[in-house]
A and B are shown apart, each in its own frame.
Chain A
């Protein structure tokens, strides 16, 4: 009993210590960035991410450090990650645009269905966890109201309880879907950035495939299929082709 208590205490303490260490590392990275030691700042931010932590601000700062040391593609990747986690942050959007301007390939975007954009913007208002929490809280409330409906004799109470229960059940179901979509968008998305300075896109997943077109680093693509080392990608203008896994980094 005593042993387990000590063990538990130790776990809690190490967790607290490592969290403190993480914040210290970020602080050190920030100081190095301010004094212009961008390479050191990159190392420290990256160490935090490598130890399994993340935050939009962290990706944003790392992107800045990469940008300042002229590694624009790495900067772009981190800005994209930051923007996925915090789509409404204006600083992130500004710097992302700055980095995107340096991308060589200019690809016409296919026009997107407007309600789809609205929907994405709407579910972007809250994080997936926040949506999930709302859904988790509203679901039992809705069930409770149904119980009222079932077991209360008074007609008026029964009526309001039923309508309210239906409404809250609807809220719970829709936030459930929002949470799912937001999670898919942020964590299980199929987007990737090309990191090889120049890569030839093939028509089939092998070296002898017909060369379709040329892409340059920084271009954002969507992965739609894979076969061994090869990934089939789709550009925002609808073009499709195959390239090696090593030419990409996933968002």
Chain B
């Protein structure tokens, strides 16, 4: 059920409101129209249509309820929906908004009694064209609806030549409008005009900055009443009219096109609006050389026609072709709405498991004023060996493929944990570093010097003992001779041995306790050239040791031992080095 009525009326003007139903209603409940004075109504009229086409009969019925109303006061009033009952079901009509404006002066052309002229100029405010846009400041790629409209308070008899504005800097698309211009009443600044939409376009700015839409020109013929010369025929045929041509020209419109904000995502290719993306694949398990179809569908409202095919990184083993693009787009006052489908054909050449990476699609969302990036699902395709594959395999075996370098990127970070140390702490050059060298060298030097001094001291002692050795031995021998005289055998030999060992100890610089027959002989032989002397000494010592504990006291033997001892010591004194 629909309700129809004028949009704008004057106070006191009579107008018609129709409610039409495409069925036969059992009851009609009129809406409340208290804001208007009801002159007459509801007047019911029925029209019926009966058709037989190819033996099929169809019937349509329209019932119209007509009200004649008069506006009484200015303002905007709403006629609420009317309710009809058809087959025990209630249907509502749409509500109507009617604007009532105050009384205004009548168009001058119809004024009687004015000085008539043959070529009355048509005033500008009576008839003009306008180019209106729904927005004047947009982002690049955001759609604008431009409407070319004619406003008139006169009777238009026809149109002549027209010059459409060149929408330079825009990508344009016509929005379908009825080919016949439907005049509608509209209130412009308190004056009621009949308006007609000549053309409606959807514009997508292609560059940034201020873009001027050049004026729209339209030659219009206006029917004017001609008053003179009056003749009998004129009176008879009614008033005579004349068509007057007028060139109408709209003002130019300036659109400020803002560039899209910075931070464009990588996948952004100029899409603006609100969109969604979906992808589908016809099969994920194929044999080699079987075709796979992947469809990427971008749906939404925006500059869909300008969207480029998203780039998909197909595995290099797949043969792929340029996508087939189909678009299903309608241009309307809301913008460009619909979908665009990209169909990719893939032919896998080798068996294996492959992955089609997700497709990213970015657009600039006008509502949120930011970039949105949508991502489709990734697909996993498993390709099995087809029957024809054998020949391909043989071929591929003959011509080995080079390793395909797909990209070049930096290596990944070292995930750690790794050693982190305070910066700039270097051993070299620190006090500890040099200190170690200096310290160890000082210790070294100290040890060397101390040892040197010590050795010197010891050597001095040895020298003294060495020099004294002869004297000490002589004193001891003197003691032995005293014992000899007293015939004390044991004491005599003891003194002789003491003298011999003591002499050796002093000369060889070996303590008496460490001296033995062997050590003495060995040490002595290194310091003496005449080895006979060593043997003499050793045999003398042996003789003394033997005699010392023998009970017999042989004075002759004792004399000999004494003499030998004196001889050996003096000889040693001469020969030892």
Per-residue contact bits, chain B 418-440, to A (CB 8 Å; 1 contact, 0 not) = 11111110111100010011001
Q: Contacts of B447 on A, CB cut-off 8 Å?
A: 147
* In contact, A132 and B416 (Cβ under 8 angstroms): no
Q: Does A67 contact B (CB under 8 A)?
A: yes
Chain A neighbourhood of B262, CB < 8 A: none
Q: Among the interface residues B409, B414, B416, B429, which one has the most CB atoms of the partner chain A within 10 A?
A: B414
The segment out of A6-14, A58-66, A230-238 that lies at the interface is A58-66
The residues of B that contact A39 with a CB separation of less than 8 Å are none
Interface residues of A, dominant DSSP: helix
Decide if B411 touches A55 in the complex (CB within 8 Å): no
Q: B-facing mask of A128-139, CB < 8 A → 1, else 0?
A: 110111001001
Query: Chain A 37-70 against B: per-residue CB contact (8 Å), 1 yes, 0 no?
Result: 0000000000011001111011011001101100
B427 & A128 in contact (Cβ 8 Å cutoff):
yes
Task: Indicate if B522 sits at the interface (CB-CB under 8 A).
Answer: no
Report the Cα distance A180→B422, complex, angstroms: 19
Does any Cβ of A come within 8 Å of B408's Cβ?
A: yes
Complexed CA–CA distance, A54 and B436 (Å): 27
Which B residues are CB-close (under 8 A) to A49?
423
Residue B324, interface by CB 8 Å: no
**Nearest Cβ distance between residue B266 and chain A, in whole angstroms?**
11
Pick the residue among A27, A64, A129 that contacts B416 (CB under 8 A). Answer: A27
In Å, the complex CA distance between A94 and B413 comes to 12
Given A33-B413, A60-B413, A139-B437: A147 in contact with B444 (beta carbons within 8 A): yes
Q: Taking CB as reference atom, which chain B residue is nearest A130?
A: B427
- State which size class the interface on A falls in: 35 or more
How many whole Å from A97's CB to the nearest CB in chain B? 10
A146–B444 Cα distance when bound, in Å, is 9
A57–B416 CA distance with the chains assembled, in angstroms: 8
B421-A54 in contact (CB<8A): yes
Q: Which A residues are CB-close (under 8 A) to B417?
A: 23, 26-27
Q: Is the CB of A64 within 8 A of B413?
A: yes
Name the distance in Å between B307's Cβ and chain A's nearest Cβ: 26
For the complex formed, measure the closest distance between the CB of B159 and the CB atoms of chain A, giving whole angstroms. Answer: 58
Instruction: Tell whether A179 is near chain B: CB-to-CB under 8 Å.
Output: yes
Contact pick for A57, options B418, B436, B437, CB 8 Å? B418
Query: In the complex the two chains form, what is the Cα distance from A180 to B434 in whole Å?
Result: 12
Name the contact of B419 in the complex, choosing from A55, A143, A180 (C-beta under 8 A): A55
Question: Does the CB pair A136–B433 fall under 8 Å?
Answer: yes
Across the interface, name the chain B residue whose C-beta is closest to A146: B444
**Please, how many angstroms separate the alpha-carbon atoms of A103 and B480 in the complex?**
106
Q: 0/1 per residue, A101-138, Cβ < 8 Å to B?
A: 00000000000000000000000000011011100100
* Cross-chain contact A26 with B416 (CB below 8 angstroms): yes
The answer, yes or no, to whether A140 is at the interface (CB within 8 Å) is: yes
B422 to chain A, nearest CB (A): 6
B414:A60 contact, CB within 8 angstroms: yes
Report if A91 contacts B (CB, 8 A): yes
> Which listed residue, A22, A30, A146, A180, touches B415 by the CB 8 Å rule?
A30
Q: Which residues of B contact A143 (CB under 8 A)?
A: 440-441, 443-444
Interface check B451, CB cutoff 8 A: yes
Task: Give B448's nearest chain A residue, CB to CB.
Answer: A150
Point out which of A22, A67, A150 has the most chain B C-beta atoms below 10 A from its C-beta: A150
Write 26 A-B pairs (CB below 8 A) sorted by A numbering.
A23-B420, A26-B417, A26-B420, A27-B416, A27-B417, A30-B415, A30-B416, A48-B420, A52-B422, A52-B424, A53-B422, A54-B421, A55-B419, A55-B420, A58-B418, A61-B414, A64-B411, A98-B408, A98-B410, A99-B410, A128-B426, A136-B433, A143-B440, A143-B443, A147-B444, A151-B451
Q: Other CB < 8 Å A-B pairs besides A48-B420, A91-B411, 20 of them?
A: A30-B415, A53-B420, A53-B421, A54-B424, A55-B418, A60-B413, A61-B414, A64-B411, A67-B410, A94-B411, A95-B410, A98-B408, A131-B428, A132-B427, A133-B427, A139-B436, A147-B444, A147-B447, A183-B426, A183-B429
- A residues contacting B by CB (< 8 A) are 22-23, 26-27, 30, 33-34, 48-49, 52-55, 57-58, 60-61, 64-65, 67-68, 91, 94-95, 98-99, 128-129, 131-133, 136, 139-140, 143, 146-147, 150-151, 179-180, 183, 187
- Please provide the 8 A-B residue pairs with the shortest distance between their CB atoms, ordered closest to farther: A54-B423, A132-B427, A57-B418, A143-B444, A140-B440, A61-B413, A57-B414, A132-B428
Interface residues of B (CB under 8 A from A): 408-424, 426-429, 433, 436-437, 440-441, 443-444, 447-448, 451
